[in-house]
A and B are shown apart, each in its own frame.
Chain A
Amino acid sequence: MVDLLEYAVRGIPTGCVFALLAVGLVLTYKTSGVFNLAFAAQAYTSAAVFYVLRKEQEWPLFWSAFIAIVIVGPALGLLLERVLFRHLRGAGSLAKMVTSLGLLIAIPEVVKLFFGSDAKSNPPPLWYVRRTDEWLWPQGSKFVLDAGQVTTIVSTLVVVVGLTVLFRYTNLGLRMRAVVESPRLAELNGVNAERVSMASWMLSSMMAGLAGVLVAPLFASLNPIDLFTLLVAALAATVVGGLSSIPLTFFGAIGLGMLQAVLAGSLPTNSVLATGLRPGLPFLVLFALLIFRPGLRSNSETADPLATVDPPLPVPVAVSRPRWMSISSRTVGVVATIFGLLVSWFLLDGFWLAIVISGVVLAVIMLSLTVVTGIGGMLSLAQAALAAIGAFTTAQVVTATGLPVLVAMLIGAAVAAACGALLAIPVVRLDGVYLALATLAFALMFESILVPLSWVSGGSVPLAVPRPVIGPWDLADDRYFLLFAALCLTVIALAVIRVRQGTTGRFLQAIQSSPTAANSIGISGGRSRIIAFTLAAGIAGFGGGLLASFAGRANYQASFPYVVGLVWVALVISAGARSIQAAVFSGIMFFLLPATLNRVFSWPENYLEAHQQAPEWMQNLLGLVQPNWALPVSFILFGIGAFTYAKHPEGIIEARTNSSVTALLRWTERRKAKVDASSSVDAPQVSA
Chain B
Amino acid sequence: MTPTTDSTEHPNEQPAPLLQASGISKRFAGLMALADVSIQVGAGETVAVIGPNGAGKSTLFNCLSGVLRADRGTVTFDGQRLESLGPTQRSRLGIARTFQRIELFGGMTVRDHLMVAERARSGRGGLWSDLFRSSKPTEEEYARCQAVLDLLGLDDVEDRSADSLSLGKGRLVELGRALMCEPRLLFLDEPSSGLDRNETEEMSLALETVQREHGTAVVLIEHDVPMVQRLATRIYVLDYGSLIASGNTMDVLEDEVVRAAYLGVAT
Contact surface of A with B, Cβ cutoff 8 Å: 312-313, 315-316, 319, 495, 498-499, 501-507, 509-510, 513-514, 516-524, 531, 535
Contacts and interface: CB of A to CB of B under 8 A. Distances in A.
B148 to A, nearest CB: 13
A517 B189 CA distance: 13
Given A503-B119, A509-B107, A517-B177, 18 more contacts: A313-B107, A501-B135, A505-B130, A506-B112, A513-B108, A514-B103, A517-B104, A519-B87, A519-B91, A520-B65, A520-B97, A520-B103, A521-B91, A521-B117, A521-B121, A521-B180, A522-B117, A531-B127
Contact of A520 (B91, B107, B161): B91
B129 A524 contact: no
A319 B107 contact: yes
A520 B129 contact: no
B217 to A, nearest CB: 16
Contacts of A517: 99, 103-105, 174, 177
A503 B124 contact: yes
Nearest to B62: A516
A514 B105 contact: yes
Given A521-B121, A522-B120, A502 B129 contact: yes
B78 interface: no
B116 A507 contact: yes
* Best-surrounded residue of B120, B131, B178 (most CB of chain A within 10 A): B120
Interface of B: 65-67, 86-88, 91-92, 96-97, 99, 103-109, 112, 115-117, 119-121, 124-127, 129-131, 135, 161, 163, 174, 177-178, 180-181
Contacts of A313: 106-107
7 contacts: A499-B127, A504-B126, A518-B105, A519-B91, A521-B177, A522-B121, A522-B181
A519 B99 CA distance: 12
Contacts of B119: 503, 506-507
A521 B178 contact: yes
B91 A504 contact: no
Contacts of A312: 106, 163
Contacts of A523: 88, 116, 120
A517 B103 CA distance: 6
A509 B121 CA distance: 17
A524 to B, nearest CB: 5
A319 B111 CA distance: 13
B127 A520 contact: no
B87 A520 contact: yes
A502 B130 contact: yes
Given A499-B127, A503-B126, A535-B127, A521 B96 contact: yes
A522 B129 contact: no
B161 A506 contact: no
A498 B130 CA distance: 6
* Best-surrounded residue of A316, A514, A521, A523 (most CB of chain B within 10 A): A521
B108 A495 contact: no
Nearest to B174: A517
Contacts of B174: 517
B129 A503 contact: yes
Contacts of B91: 519-522
Nearest to A495: B131
Contact of B105 (A319, A495, A510): A510
A521 B65 contact: no
A577 to B, nearest CB: 14
A499 B126 CA distance: 9
Given A503-B124, A519-B86, A498 B131 contact: yes
Given A503-B125, A506-B112, A521-B116, A516 B103 contact: yes
A91 to B, nearest CB: 16
Nearest to B107: A315
A468 B177 CA distance: 50
Nearest to B92: A522
Contacts of A518: 105
A498 B121 CA distance: 21
B87 A509 contact: no
B105 A513 contact: yes
B135 A498 contact: yes
* Best-surrounded residue of B99, B115, B126 (most CB of chain A within 10 A): B126
A502 B135 contact: yes
A507 B129 CA distance: 14
A459 to B, nearest CB: 37
A590 B53 CA distance: 56
Nearest to A511: B105
Nearest to A535: B127
Contacts of A501: 130, 135
A313 B179 CA distance: 27
Contacts of B121: 521-522
Contacts of A521: 91, 96, 116-117, 120-121, 177-178, 180-181
B52 to A, nearest CB: 21
B105 A520 contact: no
Contacts of B117: 521-522
A219 B125 CA distance: 54
Contacts of A505: 130
A221 to B, nearest CB: 47
A649 B169 CA distance: 27
* Best-surrounded residue of B67, B107, B161 (most CB of chain A within 10 A): B107
A523 to B, nearest CB: 5
Contacts of B104: 513-514, 517
Nearest to B94: A522
Given A315-B161, A513-B106, A524 B88 contact: yes
A313 B126 CA distance: 27
A510 B108 contact: yes
Contacts of A502: 125, 129-131, 135
A221 B181 CA distance: 62
A519 B161 CA distance: 21
Contact of B135 (A319, A503, A516, A535): A503
A535 B127 CA distance: 9
Contacts of B180: 521
A501 B88 CA distance: 23
A506 B99 contact: no
A316 B88 CA distance: 28
A514 B106 CA distance: 8
Contacts of A510: 105, 108, 116
A495 B99 CA distance: 35
A499 B180 CA distance: 23
7 interchain residue pairs of minimum CB distance: A502-B130, A503-B125, A502-B135, A517-B103, A522-B91, A519-B87, A513-B106
* Best-surrounded residue of B67, B119, B130 (most CB of chain A within 10 A): B130
A315 to B, nearest CB: 5
A232 B86 CA distance: 34
